[in-house]
């Protein structure tokens, strides 16, 4: 029996069939033509596809949305784009199949899918189609397409993909705007006029504030890894950027998780959006990754870690290994130890210059280095297809970070393997959350991990009642350690001292001298960070106190600023 639904072919370059239930989707950009009926076989095929991949689609007029199963029959992209797609991929990825129809019809969309699922092409190819339907840029016009990313690495990788596919479509110019690099080349590129801008929020806000560019022509906005941007405290900048784009706009938001902050942002700036969720609603890792947990002690971890490295290199002499650590100094130390063992290794973290980080990533991609030690700067957006193994030398502070870390392997439906070292003395509260991730991914759970979870029934997730999973107080603003703090509080030492104290209180073993000593050293290191800047002035003042009678007189009459008077100001 034929199910009477509506097929609406999209005119011109747009896909032929976007199926909606009940009524036609209003498209701001694309015309719609006569309808065609959907067959029962087509409906059954769509239902089977959605059920197989655990896809949930929520939104107005999406009850019978038909996914795109191949490139040429459904999308009607330009022939050059279709040929390039066929040469690289057999079929669209799952997120591409279900997001292209509403995006090509002009709908706002929220796409929730695991890392490495092809989200970049899911929004870039429709962006090229969108640009082709717009008027050419004029002098003084800003970009038509804006893609916001949380980190420099992710922004650069998105730009690489944008350059690759925009070269196929003529007269589409792209640029990347991010901090940590010279402003002048980026500024010149923006002022010359580009259709696509990939940016991090901070540097783009600077350019907008200085009127280097504008968003008057921006009609296609993408928030990539939106949850990470909010977690890093970029919400005020994101809102300022979106407020400057006041015209008709199509907004897309892609993320791996769907927290409350992302839902609020979507509700504020998106209208009648389509919500596409791939996979379980619970936090889960890629099932193509074999997850192995090593419960050990801090004294034995080094020996077990290097034994594991030797084992993995014997199993796959050319396999790339990505190792995560929580501290920058530890990443450098591991790199030094690996090089002393004759291994081709390098390290990347926030203290490296942008040129060094680019060089390290390029060498890792091309196989010049086999082992990369990294902090969480590489936990999202590091797009290297052939990473075989991911090792968590330190367990991350939250289950979300764990999922994103191990998601660097098993990209594009490949197989991968992850190893996580869990210190039994100080990671008990994270064991329960780790077990939940393992169970959702159908992974075996070691008995040692079960015992560790039983000994510490409080999970890291429960600790978020008063803070976040990392143990730092959660207050308003934006800032370091993945937390938000007051923009008016510029005292780094006091801020870290509060966080370190709360983080220490989270541990019940207050009699553990080693834990107490570690936190004291960390607190002292960061609390005294500004002394390197204050010390020269302090020594200068002391010398003046001894040698300059005039300075002493000024101190006696009220002194320099900070001691109760005007007088001598330094």
Percent of the chain at pLDDT exceeding 90:
37
- Mean pLDDT rounded to a whole number for the chain: 76
Higher pLDDT pick, 221 / 493 = 221
Per-residue model confidence as pLDDT tens digits over 132-190: 889 999 999 999 999 999 988 889 989 999 999 988 876 799 999 998 889 999 999 99
Tokens for 70?
A: 């191949």
Tokens for 103?
A: 């995006």
Mean pLDDT computed over 465-470:
38
Distance (Å) of CA 136 to CA 127, 131, 195, 212, 527: 15, 9, 9, 19, 53
Ranking 85-99, 302-316, 546-560 by mean pLDDT, the lowest is: 546-560
Mean pLDDT computed over 108-136:
89
Is the per-residue pLDDT at 107 higher than 70?
yes
Mean pLDDT computed over 18-47:
43
Is the per-residue pLDDT at 76 higher than 60?
yes
Q: Nearest 5°: phi and psi at 62? A: -125, 15
Same fold for the pair 6-278 and 289-457: yes
Confidence band, pLDDT 50/70/90 cuts, at residue 257: confident
CA 115 to chain CA centroid, Å, is 9
Are 149 and 155 in contact, with CB atoms under 8 Å apart?
yes
Please give the pLDDT value at position 453: 85
Tokens for 567?
A: 């007088």
**Burial category of 143 from C-beta neighbours within 10 Å (exposed 0-12, middle 13-18, buried 19 and up):** buried
Confidence band, pLDDT 50/70/90 cuts, at residue 33: very low
Ranking 89-93, 216-220, 488-492 by mean pLDDT, the lowest is: 488-492
CATH of the structural domain 289-457, one choice from 3.40.630.10, 2.60.40.1180, 3.40.50.300, 3.40.50.720 = 3.40.50.300
Is the per-residue pLDDT at 322 higher than 60?
yes
What's domain 6-278's architecture?
3-Layer(aba) Sandwich (3.40)
Please give the pLDDT value at position 282: 65
Ranking 281-290, 340-349, 427-436, 462-471 by mean pLDDT, the lowest is: 462-471
Place of tokens 């759970």: 445
Task: Indicate the Cα dihedral angle 282, 221, 380, 460, nearest 10°.
Answer: -40
Higher pLDDT pick, 565 / 74 = 74
What are the structural domain ranges in the chain? 6-278, 289-457, 464-527, 532-570
Is the per-residue pLDDT at 406 higher than 80?
yes
Please give the pLDDT value at position 408: 87
Mean pLDDT computed over 498-516:
45
Please give the pLDDT value at position 354: 81
Are 428 and 452 in contact, with CB atoms under 8 Å apart?
yes
Mean pLDDT computed over 96-120:
88
Percent of the chain at pLDDT exceeding 70:
69
pTM as predicted = 0.67
Higher pLDDT pick, 314 / 522 = 314
């Amino acid at each position: 029996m034929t199910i009477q639904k509506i097929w609406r072919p999209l005119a011109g370059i747009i896909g032929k069939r976007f199926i909606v239930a009940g009524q036609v989707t209003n498209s701001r950009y694309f015309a719609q033509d006569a309808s065609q009926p959907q067959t029962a076989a087509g409906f059954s095929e769509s239902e089977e596809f959605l059920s197989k991949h655990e896809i949930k689609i929520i939104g107005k007029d999406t009850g019978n949305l038909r996914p795109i199963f191949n490139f040429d029959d459904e999308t009607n992209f330009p022939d050059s784009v279709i040929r390039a797609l066929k040469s690289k991929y057999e079929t669209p990825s799952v997120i591409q199949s279900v997001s292209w129809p509403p995006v090509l019809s002009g709908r706002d969309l929220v796409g929730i899918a695991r890392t490495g699922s092809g989200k970049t092409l899911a929004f870039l190819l429709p962006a090229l189609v969108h640009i082709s339907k717009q008027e050419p840029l004029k002098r003084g016009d800003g970009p038509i397409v804006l893609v916001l990313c949380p980190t420099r690495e992710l922004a650069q990788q998105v730009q690489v993909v944008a350059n690759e596919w925009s070269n196929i479509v003529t007269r589409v110019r792209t640029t990347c705007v991010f901090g940590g690099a010279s402003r002048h080349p980026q500024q010149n590129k923006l002022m010359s006029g580009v259709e696509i801008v990939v940016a991090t929020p901070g540097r783009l806000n600077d350019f907008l504030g200085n009127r280097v560019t504008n968003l008057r022509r921006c009609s296609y906005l993408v928030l990539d890894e939106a949850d990470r941007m909010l977690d890093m405290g970029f919400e005020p900048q994101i809102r300022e950027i979106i407020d400057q784009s006041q015209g008709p706009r199509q907004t897309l938001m892609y993320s791996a998780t769907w927290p409350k902050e992302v839902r609020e942002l979507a509700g504020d700036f998106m209208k009648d959006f389509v919500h596409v969720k791939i996979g379980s609603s619970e936090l889960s890792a890629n099932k193509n990754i074999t997850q192995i947990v090593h419960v050990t002690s801090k004294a034995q971890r080094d020996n077990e870690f290097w034994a594991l490295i030797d084992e993995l290199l014997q199993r796959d002499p050319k396999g790339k290994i990505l190792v995560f650590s929580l501290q920058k100094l530890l990443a450098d130390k591991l790199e030094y130890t690996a090089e002393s063992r004759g291994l081709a290794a390098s390290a990347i973290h926030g203290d490296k210059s942008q040129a060094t980080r680019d060089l390290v990533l390029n060498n890792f991609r091309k196989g010049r280095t086999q082992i990369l030690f990294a902090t969480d700067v590489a936990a999202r957006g590091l797009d290297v297809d052939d990473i075989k193994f991911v090792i968590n030398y330190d367990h991350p502070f939250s289950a979300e970070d764990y999922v994103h870390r191990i998601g660097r392997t098993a990209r594009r439906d490949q197989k991968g393997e992850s190893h996580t070292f869990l210190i039994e003395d100080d990671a008990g509260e994270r064991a329960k959350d780790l077990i939940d991730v393992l169970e959702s991914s159908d992974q075996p759970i070691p008995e040692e991990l079960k015992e560790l979870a039983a000994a510490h029934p409080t999970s890291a997730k429960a600790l978020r009642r008063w803070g976040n999973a990392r143990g730092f107080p959660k207050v308003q603003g934006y800032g370091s350690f993945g937390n938000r703090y007051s923009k008016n509080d510029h005292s780094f030492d006091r801020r870290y001292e509060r966080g370190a104290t709360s983080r220490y209180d989270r541990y019940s073993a207050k009699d553990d001298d080693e834990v107490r000593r570690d936190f004291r050293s960390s607190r002292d290191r960061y609390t005294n960070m500004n002394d390197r800047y204050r010390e020269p002035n302090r020594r200068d003042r002391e010398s003046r106190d001894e040698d300059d009678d005039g300075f002493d007189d000024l101190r006696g009459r009220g002194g320099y600023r900070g001691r109760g008077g005007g007088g001598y100001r330094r």
